[in-house]
Structure 1
């Protein structure tokens, strides 16, 4: 079968090559992959700005259909449609963090798509506890968004109090930022979405999905707009989703005294910011790393309730053989959520 593989360390070295079909163990399930989303992490692996262990198949945001089950598996059956938690591929299961459901902090953890083989291919084998059976009315396209939605759920719902009526600055209208927007709008927040001229299409989509205001920071003065919209007070919450130094600085400047700052984006390098701003404004600061067991339970409930217009965030579905086109769409911000499908 074909797979998109990071073949060796360093920037680049990503190729579509032939790999053996994986085998299903006693406690495993084999999934025929239907849709896999391109994530910012995949781009970081491509550029070697996120830790990876080549040779490794990229891709971790995926859904599919059970094609085979191990002899000890009873939780799912062949033909079941599933979403997958890719982040628990390797964990110890015994450390304090694992026992409390915070698997992201396990000292030996490796996730799919960078630490172990991922989903930009035809079949993936995972443990049966990683899969979640889907309700009939949840599409496989929507299910491929389960993992990034879980990232947004933790950022918006679980790390700091965000209330009905809060004014929130969301800087960075990429896929995770847009999923955060959906949740904030559902909570009844007044959301200002900031991006650059390159984000034009994404800002237009944010407006359609319920943003109160969108700002091109290269065309307007963000701080003047924030002051105008908040009566000079500043925003209640700033969510930095871009992973860009200037965005972090702008968010710290825009948030009110005793406000809240949530770091969602990954920088992949050291940055310089006016860190004393946190002290002088007495800010509550939270960093969010993916999700937890609790987050996945909440995310699956959201999928079942179907109250979020997730399908509107999917702008492209592209064959795996055209992966470079899909990656370019994401790099150039010409799409939002881009899904790849296996093609022979």
Structure 2
């Protein structure tokens, strides 16, 4: 079967190859992959700026249909439509982080798509415990957004309290930023989102999702606009989904005293900013890394409720054969979420 493989370390070194299917072991299920989303992590692996363990099949945002299960697996059945939690495929299972559900901090963790083989292929054989059944009303396309949605859920729902009356500034209209927007819209928040000239297509999606105010920071002065929109008060909460040092500085500048900042995007390098703003404004600052088991339970509840808008965020579906063009379109911000399918 075909697979998109990082064949060795270094920039690039990704090829579409034929690989063998893996044998089914006890506790495992074999899933026929329906869709796998291209994540910023996949682009970082392409550029060799995110640790991977080649040769490894890329892709970790997957949905699919259970093809077969090991004889000891009872909670998942052949034919079940599932989302895959790929981050825990290799963990120690006994450290304090594993035992409390915060698997991202396990020192031995290797996730799908970088540490073990991922979803850019036809079949994955995986621990059945990380398969989550999708409600009938959720499409497999939407199911492939479970992992990035979990990242947004942890940021918005689990770190601190965000009130329905809050004005929230979200920087970066990429897939995570748009999912964050969709969640905040459900909460009833007043949402300001920022982007650049490169985000034109994503601007339209933000408007579809119900953003209250969209600011192009290359055409408008952010500080002036925030002052106008908040009667000079500043915003209650800022959430950076861009990983841009400039955007992060802007977040702290736009916060009102006693405000909250949540950092989602990864910058990838050190940068400087006026740290005294945290003291002078008495701000609360939260970092968020991916998700936990409790986050995934919330994601499944959101799917069950069927209130959050996900379809507008999926802007392209392409085949594995076209992976290079798909990666390039993501790199150039021409799309929001791109899904790959086998054929």
2:215 corresponds to? 215
Q: How many residues align?
A: 343
SS at match of 2:256: strand
SS at match of 1:300: helix
Q: Is the 8 A contact 2:154 2:290 kept in 1?
A: yes
Distance 2:90 2:274 in 1: 37
1:133 corresponds to? 133
Distance 1:276 1:320 in 2: 48
1:189 corresponds to? 189
1:122 corresponds to? 122
1:328 corresponds to? 328
State yes or no: 1:261 paired with 2:261: yes
2:157 corresponds to? 157
SS at match of 1:295: helix
What does residue range 265-276 of structure 1 map to in structure 2 within 5 Å?
265-276=265-276
Distance 2:258 2:292 in 1: 27
Distance 2:269 2:101 in 1: 28
1:49 corresponds to? 49
Q: Is the 8 A contact 2:208 2:312 kept in 1?
A: no
Name segments (4+ residues, structure 1) moved above 6 Å. none
Deviation at 1:274, TM superposition (A): 2.1
Deviations 1:185-227 (A, max 9, x none): 1100000010100011111210121100101100000111111
2:172 corresponds to? 172
1:298 corresponds to? 298
Report which stretch shifted further, 25-34 or 132-141.
132-141
Deviation at 1:54, TM superposition (A): 1.1
Distance 2:128 2:207 in 1: 40
Q: Is the 8 A contact 1:193 1:203 kept in 2?
A: no
SS at match of 1:268: coil
1:6 corresponds to? 6
Q: Is the 8 A contact 2:227 2:234 kept in 1?
A: yes
Deviation at 1:273, TM superposition (A): 2.2
1:288 corresponds to? 288
SS at match of 2:228: helix
Q: Is the 8 A contact 1:32 1:67 kept in 2?
A: yes
Distance 1:26 1:293 in 2: 22
SS at match of 2:248: helix
Distance 1:12 1:271 in 2: 27
Q: CA RMSD in A?
A: 0.9
Deviation at 1:126, TM superposition (A): 0.7
Distance 2:220 2:288 in 1: 29
Distance 1:278 1:11 in 2: 38
Q: Is the 8 A contact 1:184 1:191 kept in 2?
A: yes
Distance 1:50 1:144 in 2: 22
Distance 1:277 1:113 in 2: 39
Distance 2:284 2:184 in 1: 18
SS at match of 2:271: coil
1:61 corresponds to? 61
Task: Report the TM-score, using the length of structure 1 for normalisation.
Answer: 0.98
2:92 corresponds to? 92
Report which stretch shifted further, 270-279 or 168-177.
270-279
* Structure 2 stretches lacking a partner, 5+ long: none
